[in-house]
Amino acid sequence: MDSQNALWLRPSLLLSQGRDRRAAASKAELWRVIWTAGGLVWLCIAAVGMLWAWPMAGTIHGDDYYVHSGARLLHHCLLFLLSAAAYRIGIGLGWPDTALGRIRVIVVNVILSLVVIRVAPFALFVSVGLLDEPWKNVMEGMRAWEPLRATTEQWLTLLRFWLPAYVLGLIAIALVITTRRSHRHTVRLAEMSAQLANARMATLSAQLHPHFLFNALNSISGLVGDSPSQAVEMLARLGDFLRVALESTKNPWTSVGAEVDGVDAYLAVQRIRFRDQLRVSLTVEPEVLKAPIPALLLQPLVENAIEHGLSDPDECLEVTVVIRRSQNRLMITVANTRPRMREPLAPVSFGNGLRNVSARLFAAYNGEGTIEIGPDPVGGGTRAELSIPAAIEPTRNAAERQN
């Protein structure tokens, strides 16, 4: 019974520890922002105040005494320390979703600002007593600012001098916190989008395997009796292709070079299957071999060109594959010598293989990749042309690019 209770309690304990760590990290981050963003604002205000009072520091003008610069700097430091505590309480409340909760947060922040502002003259007297005037003179001036004796004029003076400084610090801290949270939210969305796109691409890639495997095994079964050696060779090349295909379920992205290796293995199977009926030309520019593309993007196009072109067993079918770069686009062309299409094929008329390719292009490039099927003006048959961004990295690196 004790071991069962331990098993039930352990996940709850881990979740509680995770929440505690996240809460501690959030508190530490808030303090860092207060000391940096808030401190920078108060430092600028202190510098402006010291420069403004510099010519009059340590002198008396009428009934006003202008304290020395050292005491003025200490006054700003003490006031910032008090403000930092108020910022931590006020911003730590967050921004609730309900109107009543937001009103409560606003009221608390107003009260905190008034407390800081009301303490400002006492922080000044302490600074003067430590660095400027004797404590006897300081105590006499402090009596006029006793908390319960503050006049309306004194409150207006405090609000005019210290409310803008406090509010500017609060705004700076809130902006930094909001920006950081927005950035983290954007990164999380990018990670989720990348995971979704990869999962979708892997699923679509997996749909290709049964179709090709059925055709290949059917051909192998026909060769077993007539030509066992060719059947063995075909099984070996089929294994090479399936190894590449299975890798696409783990990582939906590959390089052009790896994709071409997979197509070579696929074509080896097809050459054994169709013998002298098939001739294939594969041309790849060396500079695009390392370019990233979705895995198994080329194979269904080559398969379509072969399956639809071998309608006449007495004629040899020629299939041409060209992969090149044109400015910032990667161009992939797969053409055959027959049959010739009369007009471009509309996307609504795509078969399963072409719809699969189109869907993976959209998942990988979010509409930036295109596929066109139409007549081939060079070979006289049909041409499939893909145009994809050559500079776009795999979707799985999207979150890393946001960071």
Average pLDDT value over all residues in the chain: 78
Identity at 104, one-letter amino acid code: R
User: 345 or 195: which carries more pLDDT confidence?
Assistant: 345
CA distance 318 to 354: 20
Query: Does residue 403 surpass a pLDDT of 50?
Result: no
Mean pLDDT across the stretch 271-281? 82
Mean pLDDT across the stretch 184-195? 67
pLDDT band at 285 (very low <50, low <70, confident <90, very high): very high
Mean pLDDT across the stretch 165-175? 90
Mean pLDDT across the stretch 218-247? 78
State what percent of residues in the chain have pLDDT above 90: 14
Bridge partners (DSSP) listed for residue 330: 325, 388
User: 12 or 229: which carries more pLDDT confidence?
Assistant: 229
Query: Of 260, 218, 221, nearest to 241 (Cα)?
Result: 260
Mark out the alpha helices in 144-227 (DSSP H runs). Answer: 152-206, 208-226
pLDDT band at 110 (very low <50, low <70, confident <90, very high): very high
- Dump pLDDT digits (tens) for 252-268: 788 899 889 888 888 88
Domain residue limits, the chain: 25-191, 207-402
Which of 3-7, 263-267, 318-322, 399-403 is predicted with the least confidence, judged by mean pLDDT? Answer: 399-403
pLDDT band at 192 (very low <50, low <70, confident <90, very high): low
CA distance 96 to 106: 11
Q: What was the pLDDT predicted at 401?
A: 36
Classify 213 as helix, strand or coil: helix
CA dihedral 15, 21, 24, 28 (to 10 degrees): -150
Q: What was the pLDDT predicted at 15?
A: 42
CA distance 44 to 57: 18
One DSSP character per residue, 253-290 reads EEEHHHHHHHHHHHHHHHHHHHGGGEEEEEEE-GGGTT
Distance in angstroms between the alpha carbons of the first and the last residue of the chain: 47
Which of 81-85, 143-147, 315-319 is predicted with the least confidence, judged by mean pLDDT? Answer: 143-147
pLDDT band at 320 (very low <50, low <70, confident <90, very high): very high
Query: Does residue 321 surpass a pLDDT of 90?
Result: yes
- Dump pLDDT digits (tens) for 383-395: 999 999 886 555 4
Identity at 17, one-letter amino acid code: Q
- Dump pLDDT digits (tens) for 210-230: 666 777 777 788 777 777 887
CB under 8 Å to 235, separation ≥6 — which residues? 220
Query: What homologous superfamily does CATH list for 207-402?
Result: Histidine kinase-like ATPase, C-terminal domain (3.30.565.10)
CA distance 267 to 289: 19
pLDDT band at 16 (very low <50, low <70, confident <90, very high): low
- Most confident listed range (5-9, 40-44, 202-206, 397-401): 40-44
User: 330 or 308: which carries more pLDDT confidence?
Assistant: 330
Mean pLDDT across the stretch 98-118? 90
CA distance 39 to 128: 22
Query: Does residue 297 surpass a pLDDT of 80?
Result: yes
Percent helix, strand, coil in the chain (nearest 5)? 70, 15, 15
Q: What was the pLDDT predicted at 402?
A: 37
CA distance 281 to 259: 15
- The per-residue b/e assignment along 293-316, b for 16 or more CB within 10 angstroms, e otherwise, is bbbbbbbbbbbbbbebbbeeeeee
Query: Does residue 330 surpass a pLDDT of 90?
Result: yes
Q: What was the pLDDT predicted at 372?
A: 92
Mean pLDDT across the stretch 324-337? 91
Query: Of 292, 293, 303, 296, nearest to 205 (Cα)?
Result: 296
Query: Of 194, 145, 121, 119, nearest to 399 (Cα)?
Result: 194
Bridge partners (DSSP) listed for residue 382: 375
CA distance 383 to 372: 8
Mean pLDDT across the stretch 339-361? 83
Bridge partners (DSSP) listed for residue 373: 345, 384
Q: What was the pLDDT predicted at 26?
A: 73
Query: Of 309, 313, 364, 366, nearest to 334 (Cα)?
Result: 309
Q: What was the pLDDT predicted at 399?
A: 36
Do the Cβ atoms of 145 and 154 come closer than 8 Å? yes
Query: Does residue 198 surpass a pLDDT of 50?
Result: yes
Q: What was the pLDDT predicted at 345?
A: 87
CA distance 124 to 75: 5
